[in-house]
Amino acid sequence: MFQKQFNGSVPSIFVSLSGDGELVDNQGTSTGSRAVQLYNGRAIIRVKTRNGRSNVAASIPEMTSTIPSIFINL
């Protein structure tokens, strides 16, 4: 589905975090980045919760009209 709509490229999911935790990013890996691509329909991120409360937001800017942003409380 994505390959057809995006001419062979897979859209990136952009992730942000607010609260007490820390998003593991800028690692140059598939699980350590603010922008991750789907593989097998999944994307994985890592968060250091620091024993507090955090909120994670994920969105696909290329598909804002069909897929809404997602918010998850940790």
Residue reference for tokens 């955090």: 54
Q: Per residue in 9-68, pLDDT tens? A: 677 889 999 999 999 988 888 788 888 887 777 888 899 999 999 999 988 887 766 777
- DSSP annotation string for 8-63: TPPPEEEEEEEES-EE--SSSSSSS-SEEE-BTTB----EE-TTS-EEEEEE-GGG
Would strands 54-59 and 12-19 be described as parallel, antiparallel, or unpaired?
antiparallel
Length of the chain: 74
pLDDT given for residue 5 in this prediction: 45
More confident residue, 61 or 3: 61
